[in-house]
Every structure is written in structure tokens, then in C-alpha cells.
Amino acid sequence: MRVYTALLAALLVLPLFGQTANAAPQIITAEGVAIMGESDMPKDVRAAARREAMRAATEQAGVYVESSAETQDFTLTKDEVRTIAGSILHIIKEEAIPEVVNGTWRYRVRLTCEVDTSEVDVAALAEKKAEIARLQKERDTLEAQNNALRLRDVQRQKAAEAARGTRLADALPYTAIFDETLRLIRSGQAREGALEVTRLIGDPRVTGDALAYAYCLRGIAYYEMGEDKTAIQNLRSADEISRSNELYPLWRGDQYYALICERQKRWKEAAKFFRLAWEASDKTDKQLAEQLERAEERVGKKRGGIGSFLGGIVNGVLSVAGALVGIG
């Protein structure tokens, strides 16, 4: 609509200079007043007063425009009247008068203008309005065609999704999708696994622990793809929904937090998350047990290494001290 509104204004203004009427130019006077506030700048108040004066002058000019159009058996809309009035309004004199009224500063702007309705070519306006109406009709037709094409595309997409089984059927249990997601991840098809479980995440009927586990599995899939940042985002979404392990093994989230920490060589944090996962689990997962043991041994060795180093220093100092005592 903005394009056509701008086109309307342009087409209306272009034919204004045909000499189709012989009315004499009219002189009009209009005033605008603006009051100065405590934080107002004088130039801003003056500009506001001028805008008000121009508005009043345009309204007066519009009266002459409407009268001229009526004499030529032509009807204009309010927008057309304003557009034409603004284009045939010529400022002859402008006065900006600062004044104080009841202790308040204000600006009064007085405009003396000439309005020449002989510049309005009504026949040309009628022709251009017909052209605009034709263009608008074409636009509406094209818009309707585009909407129909978009609707057809959406219907095709939905049909294709239904054919591929990507829509979640009411009778399909969540566990079937969870199992398929895990199978894909374990077979090296992590990206397909992420797409599989996203079916649940995108379904508004899936909430609570099921939704949390869906995010958890998608986080695991992204970890396997090497996209740690996206993996963490999904694991965090799972945590925010639920950390209950009653229905689903949501402790897997902590396990994969730990694996991400290991990948980033953050050993202490890895050990912490492996411990959290183990304590939340049923303590039957052998892989998790091995991961926890490895992580805690690594942290313990680092601590032992530092302790041995410091112990060596202390023993060396004591030996030197003993030697000095013996010499004495």
C-alpha cells in the first residue's frame, strides 16, 4: 500500500500544471502558534508553529481546490485534496513573531500564501486516477495469486511430511521415537537422530518429562556431531523443564555435560558432572561407571602430583636444615 500511495501522490502532482481553469490566484493568510516549554529550544518551537501554520494554510487551499474540481464535475478524495493543495500553495511572506503571553514565551508564525487553482488539470487527474485504479486491481490480482501459490506450497509440504511420517500420530508412543533416535545416534547418524527427535520437540502435545528427554537426546545428537554449543543449549533446555529420572534417564544430560567438559579439557568439572550422573542413575550403567572412575582418577593424579612435588620440597628443606644443625 505504501508504494501505491506514493504512486498516487506522484501521479496526482504531475499533471497539475495544465491550464484548464481561468480562476484568479487567491491570497490566503494562516497562523500557527507553539508554546515554549522549559526544555524547548526556540528554533524547535518556531518550527512547530510553522508546521501548524502550514497545516492551516493547506486546509484553506483545499477549499479552493475542492471548489475548482466541482466546477469541472470532478470529485476528489480528502487525501487527493491535501496532495493537490500542498502542491499549488506558494508562500509569499513568512513572519515569525516571538511573544510573551501571561508570562509564557511562544512563537507565532504567520504565512501569506498564494493559491492558483488554474494549475489543477482535472482531466489529467481523472486519467491518472483511472491508471492508478488499474494498477491497484493488478496488484490485488497478483497478491491473490501469490497467496494461492503459498497455500498450495504449504499443502504440498504437509502432504509430503505426512507421507514421510514426520507428523506425530496420536497412537505413536514417545518411546518409539526415543528408541529410533538412540539407534540413529549409535549407528553414526547423529544428524538424522536430531531430526527424528525434533518431531517431539515441535509437537505442542509433548510436555513435561517427555519433552525434557527429547531435548536431552537432541543434545546428545549434537554432541556426537561435534556441535558442543548447540548440545549445551539443548541439555540446558532439558534441565529447565525437568530433572526427574522417574520416567526417562535424564541423568544422561549430566553425563554428556561431563563429556563436553572432557573434550574441552576441563577435568574437574567433568568429574563433577560424571558424579552427578552416577548418583542420579540406577548405578547399572557400566560405561558411566568407567567414565566416572577415569575422570576421578585423572583429577586425583593431578592433585597427587602437586602434593608429591610440594612434599619433595618440604623434605629437601628439612634435610638441609638437619645438615646445618649437624655442622653446628
pLDDT digits (tens, 9 = 90+) for 272-287: 999 999 999 999 999 9
Domains of the chain: 2-136 (3.10.129), 174-314 (1.25.40.10)
Pairwise CA distance, residues 76 & 8, whole Å: 12
Cβ-Cβ contacts under 8 Å for 50 (sequence gap 6 or more): 32, 94, 96, 109, 111
Pairwise CA distance, residues 182 & 5, whole Å: 57
Three-state DSSP at 92 gives strand
Pairwise CA distance, residues 289 & 223, whole Å: 20
Q: Which three cell numbers stand for residue 170?
A: 496420536
Pairwise CA distance, residues 221 & 232, whole Å: 11
pLDDT for residue 309 is more than 50: no
Q: Which three cell numbers stand for residue 35?
A: 508554546
210-226, pLDDT tens digit by residue?
899 999 999 999 999 99
The reported pTM is 0.43
Q: How high is the pLDDT of residue 144?
A: 84
Q: What count of Cα atoms within 13 Å lies in the side-chain half-sphere of residue 224?
A: 20
The type of residue at 261 is: C
15-59, pLDDT tens digit by residue?
443 444 445 788 989 999 999 888 889 899 999 999 999 999 888
Q: Which three cell numbers stand for residue 308?
A: 608429591
Q: How high is the pLDDT of residue 303?
A: 58
Q: How high is the pLDDT of residue 220?
A: 96
